[in-house]
Structure 1
Amino acid sequence: MINRKHVVRIAGCAAAVSAALGLLSIGAANADTFVPLPGGELTKTLSDGTVITVRLTDESANISPSMGATPVHRNAWVSGTASVQVSDNSSAPSVLLFPGYTVACQVNIAGGGVNGGVGGTVDYSDGQNVKPNVSANTGGNLSLGPGQATSFWVLDVEKADDYGREAHRHRNKIDGHSGSVTWADETIGLSGCGGYAQARAFISVELETDSVVTWTTLWGQPFSLG
């Protein structure tokens, strides 16, 4: 004789286990992905003999499912440290440090040229001297379609201008021959991209000595946003 109550209990337990496994699978699929990145280092000797070294260290990205929960939404938190060192043969150099990120939708930003329809333009033809044309200000809440790329600054330093009005600077001024700046959990929120998306850190340095003015850029390794 079949005990129907016993069968119902077994069926109920099986359904509960299946539901739990289903929730576990969903949770695993939506878990954050931590990506350690190698950073980089660039050394350049200027025409007056000044040596400048730019470093990107402690770089990482934490890729997370976007609140939009659709294939066209991506979300990441990025961290890193930018540092610069100038040789002592240059007396009282002027050094400005500009960290930022380039983000692209269905565009290869590992090399070649990138032209962003949103306004970000990057030309890698002269790798060390490339100067990103940053159309966004600060913060990485971006909207890009296929074939588009843009860049944004990490820093937003408030400082009064010459007339006492509030002004925003996107660089860190280095006092002396060396210095650094660190950022943690800077947001990259991307919407509108239905294909693969990438991002890449860059550290640009503007250096002025008694006889030379130069712009140098170090590029980090590209990483996938999904």
Structure 2
Amino acid sequence: MKADGPRRPYARSFRRGMRLGGMSAVFAAVGMLVAGHATADTFVPLPDGHEVAPEATIRRTAEHAVVSPSMAANGAGRVVWVSGTVTADVVQTPSVERPGPYSTPENWPGTNNSSTHGTSQVSTGYIVGCQVSIGDSAISAGLSGNVSTNGAGLSGSAGLKIGPGEVEFVRVGFKDILRPGVYSLGYRDFEIEIQGCGGYAQARAYTVVEIIGEHYSKTTLYGAPFSIG
């Protein structure tokens, strides 16, 4: 019947609209994928580790990092959130009722071969380098040489400005060891923001157990190095 004829232009317009709408939806989806890729977080699983000494055994478990571009979007910044659990099983240390007068991290480094001056201690943090491979050569500078005081505790954050060839030590947290026993430090999503590094950056966990007393010792456990962009 010819009565259907006048409706065909509307049908063509409808189909054309459907095609254009579908293309817009595809472009929108691609745009979201591109934007998502540009700002995507990178999850970095890290292996467990342990170090055994006569006075203490150190273990690090459940460590991982999440790397993101910096909100500054200047090409020289990035952010990493680190998580993990550190355990120190101490079998020998002088028992004390309270920490000594110079056992706070603000007074590091100490003298007389002691960083704590009053009690044994376990501390943990991260070594961060710009265009430097965090290996033995970078670590040989010593943990007491370049420790950032920006760390705000186990649930805090730290901001660094480092250039090519520079290395910083960021402390995440510490505990005084008042007597033999098991001491644990757990941290989740501790934020480290890096600015000023136009090249690649790398980080690596460290944990130090320092035992004072007649038989002084310092034991260090290093984590696996990982890229932060």
Relative to the length of structure 2, the TM-score reads 0.74
What is the match of residue 65 of structure 1? 69
Asked whether the equivalents of residues 205 and 223 of structure 2 are also in contact (C-alpha less than 8 Å), the reply is yes
What is the match of residue 107 of structure 1? 132
Aligned residues: 191
2:149 matches 1:131: no
Instruction: Call closer, same or farther: CA 1:197–1:203 in 2, change over 3 Å.
Output: same
1:48-197 aligned at under 5 Å gives the runs 51-87=55-91, 92=95, 94-111=119-136, 113-114=137-138, 122-123=139-140, 131-137=143-149, 138=151, 139-155=157-173, 171-177=174-180, 178-197=182-201
Q: Deviations over 1:174-200 (max 9, x none)?
A: 232221111111101111111111111
Name the amino acid aligned to 1:27: G
Shift of 1:8: 4.8
Name the amino acid aligned to 2:33: L
2:203 matches 1:199: yes
Unaligned runs of 5+ in 2: 1-7, 97-118, 152-156
Asked whether the equivalents of residues 131 and 215 of structure 1 are also in contact (C-alpha less than 8 Å), the reply is no
2:45 matches 1:33: no
Secondary structure of 2:147's partner?
coil
Shift of 1:9: 4.2
Name the amino acid aligned to 2:201: A
Tell me the distance in 2 between the aligned counterparts of 1:55 and 1:95: 17
Task: Find the partner of 1:221 among 210, 216, 224.
Answer: 224
Asked whether the equivalents of residues 95 and 179 of structure 2 are also in contact (C-alpha less than 8 Å), the reply is yes
Question: Percent of aligned pairs with the same residue?
Answer: 37
Asked whether the equivalents of residues 105 and 146 of structure 1 are also in contact (C-alpha less than 8 Å), the reply is yes
Tell me the distance in 2 between the aligned counterparts of 1:103 and 1:149: 6
Name the amino acid aligned to 1:143: K
What is the match of residue 52 of structure 2? 43
Q: Deviations over 1:67-121 (max 9, x none)?
A: 1234211111101112211225x5638420111111011001033x22xxxxxxx
Unaligned runs of 5+ in 1: 46-50, 115-121, 125-129, 156-170
Q: Deviations over 1:198-217 (max 9, x none)?
A: 111100111013x2122221
Asked whether the equivalents of residues 54 and 85 of structure 1 are also in contact (C-alpha less than 8 Å), the reply is yes
Shift of 1:56: 1.4
Tell me the distance in 1 between the aligned counterparts of 2:31 and 2:134: 37
Of structures 1 and 2, the larger Rg is shown by: 2
Tell me the distance in 1 between the aligned counterparts of 2:62 and 2:13: 62
Q: Deviations over 1:6-63 (max 9, x none)?
A: 4354234212311222212321342222212113111123xxxxx3211112211111
Name the amino acid aligned to 2:175: N
Instruction: Call closer, same or farther: CA 1:76–1:225 in 2, change over 3 Å.
Output: same
Relative to the length of structure 1, the TM-score reads 0.75
Higher relative helix content: 2
Q: What do you get for the CA RMSD once the two structures are aligned?
A: 2.3
